[in-house]
Amino acid sequence: MKPAFEKLAASSEDGIHCNVVRGNTFGCVWHCHPEFEITMVQKARGHRLVGDALTSLQPGDMVLVGSNLPHDWQNDAHAPGGPQTVESICIHFHPDWLGRGWLDLPAMQQVQRLLHRAALGLHVTGRTRDDIESLLLRCPHQYGLPRVITVLEILQRLAESRELHPIASRGFAPELDPRDEDRVNRVVQYIQKHLDETIYLDHLASLVHLSAGAFSRFFKTRTGKTVPGFINELRIGRACRLLAETDIPVTTIALSCGFTNLANFNRQFLRLKQMPPRDWRRRFSG
Same domain, 162 and 89: yes
Same domain, 186 and 107: no
Give residue 76's pLDDT: 80
Cα separations (Å) of 186 from 43, 94, 156, 227?
Answer: 26, 29, 39, 14
Asked if residue 240 belongs to a domain, the reply is yes
Query: Lowest-pLDDT range, 31-35, 77-81, 136-140, 199-203?
Result: 77-81
Coil, helix or strand at residue 97: coil
Q: Residue 258 maps to which CATH number?
A: 1.10.10.60
pLDDT digits (tens, 9 = 90+) for 138-183: 999 999 999 999 999 999 999 999 999 999 877 665 555 656 666 7
Give residue 103's pLDDT: 92
Asked if residue 146 belongs to a domain, the reply is yes
pLDDT digits (tens, 9 = 90+) for 206-254: 998 999 999 888 888 777 778 898 898 888 888 887 887 788 999 999 9
pLDDT digits (tens, 9 = 90+) for 81-106: 666 789 999 999 999 999 989 999 99
Give residue 4's pLDDT: 44
Tell me which of 141, 166, 191 is where a domain ends: 166
Give residue 132's pLDDT: 97
Same domain, 156 and 250: no
Contacts (Cβ under 8 Å, ≥6 apart) of 1? 30, 180, 183, 184, 187, 188, 218, 219, 222, 223
Query: Lowest-pLDDT range, 80-89, 117-126, 192-201, 270-279?
Result: 80-89
CA distance 150 to 164: 19
Give residue 171's pLDDT: 61
Same domain, 142 and 25: yes
Q: Residue 96 maps to which CATH number?
A: 2.60.120.10
- Name which residue leads in pLDDT, 33 or 126: 126
Examine the pLDDT at 133 and tell me if it is beyond 90.
yes
Same domain, 200 and 159: no
Tell me which of 116, 132, 166 is where a domain ends: 166
CA distance 129 to 136: 10
Same domain, 150 and 223: no
Q: Which domain holds residue 239?
A: 181-284
Average pLDDT over residues 61-82: 83
Asked if residue 116 belongs to a domain, the reply is yes
Determine if the pTM surpasses 0.75.
no
Is the Cβ–Cβ distance between 174 and 30 less than 8 Å?
Answer: no
Backbone angles phi, psi at 3, to 5 degrees: -75, 150
CA distance 50 to 53: 5
Give residue 70's pLDDT: 83
Same domain, 104 and 218: no
Asked if residue 242 belongs to a domain, the reply is yes
Examine the pLDDT at 202 and tell me if it is beyond 70.
yes
Give residue 1's pLDDT: 42
Same domain, 21 and 145: yes
3-state percent helix, strand, coil for the chain, nearest multiple of 5? 45, 20, 35
Same domain, 11 and 80: yes
Give residue 285's pLDDT: 66
* Domain count for the chain: 2
Going 55 to 61 to 67 to 68, the CA torsion angle's sign is positive
Asked if residue 15 belongs to a domain, the reply is yes
pLDDT digits (tens, 9 = 90+) for 1-23: 444 445 455 565 788 999 999 98
Same domain, 197 and 142: no
Give residue 199's pLDDT: 93
Asked if residue 175 belongs to a domain, the reply is no
Tell me which of 166, 191, 225 is where a domain ends: 166
Asked if residue 62 belongs to a domain, the reply is yes
% pLDDT > 90, the chain: 48
CA distance 120 to 178: 20
Backbone angles phi, psi at 167, to 5 degrees: -105, -60
Same domain, 43 and 126: yes
Cα separations (Å) of 205 from 201, 215, 216?
Answer: 6, 5, 8
Same domain, 46 and 123: yes
Asked if residue 172 belongs to a domain, the reply is no
Q: Give the burial class of 210: count Cβ atoms within 10 A of its Cβ; 0-12 exposed, 13-18 middle, 19 or more buried.
A: middle
